[in-house]
Structure 1
């Protein structure tokens, strides 16, 4: 198995971990926000694990970016939708999503009121998840194989 195949498989499989953690975290935040629930250590850990999983996926993706034959820097790249997607579009959208996740996590840590913490996580992580899903849909990458 080549390094490219290994990282491609790792990146592909780990996306399920990221998606499950994000859906769980966003649901917990929405329940906490609209249900006026306390912000517990379970919420904090869920937010943190979702953040860590996204950053881990980013690191795997960075390695994959430099190994992938679909990432090319030549005159044909922008004319070919597949090459353009993997060379430019995918990573840009994912970095934006991860920046939102990081900002949301950081902001929530500084807040005191449980409602504000839940709301911040729900909004920032939710928007990031929409961007991630949009990025996968733009590249016609199935979330579930």
Structure 2
């Protein structure tokens, strides 16, 4: 089960990264270009939200399938934090990805409350770009290529 979930998490990550890049660039270009908010912009931001939440759910399943909880209890948190790979897999990567998904969720929620195009794009641009930066910082690049 672990290998299947790991593969799913790894391949879904490409779609998640692609969508957050598209959504961020769309919001930035249209905000600075003073463009009108269209239904396609709503769909892009919503699809990004959905894809990222699915990635989070797959990641949570992977976290427990990898049995990190028993590893932490066996090794102790001090030893886990002393190991760069384990610290990244157990603490840093999940935490930064949760922060990114919170940013996306907040940005999506805030943009829906705005009535005109510029404030909508501003909310999406700020929150989705911060989420993109958070994701890019903690992607395990060595295992991707």
- Normalised to the residue count of structure 2, the TM-score between the two structures is 0.90
For 2:60, which of 33, 51, 62 is the aligned residue? 62
Give 3-state SS (helix, strand or coil) of 1:38's partner: coil
Q: Which residue of 1 aligns with 2:104?
A: 101
**Cα offset, 1:70, TM superposition:** 5.8
Matched-pair contact (CA < 8 Å) for 1:21–1:50: yes
Q: Going by fraction, where is helix more abundant, 1 or 2?
A: 2
| Secondary structure in 2 matching 1:37 | coil
The alignment yields a C-alpha RMSD, in angstroms, of 1.5
Is the CA contact 1:70–1:83 (under 8 Å) kept in the aligned structure 2?
no
Alpha-carbon distance in structure 2 between the residues aligned to 1:49 and 1:28: 13
Which whole-Å CA distance do the structure 2 matches of 1:99 and 1:7 have between them? 23
Residue of structure 1 equivalent to 2:16: 18
Greater than 3 Å deviation, 4+ residue runs:
139-143
Please state if 1:129 is matched with 2:132: yes
**SS where residue 36 of structure 1 aligns?**
coil
The answer to which of 17-26 and 97-106 deviates more is: 17-26
Aligned-pair CA distance for 1:8: 0.5
Deviation, 1:141, is 4.0
Q: 1:43 to 1:95 in 2, by over 3 A?
A: same
1:112 aligns with 2:112: no
Count of aligned pairs: 140
Corresponding residue number in structure 2 for 1:92: 95
Deviations 1:64-115 (A, max 9, x none): 0001156630222111111111111111111111101000000000001100
Describe the SS at the equivalent of 1:39. Answer: coil
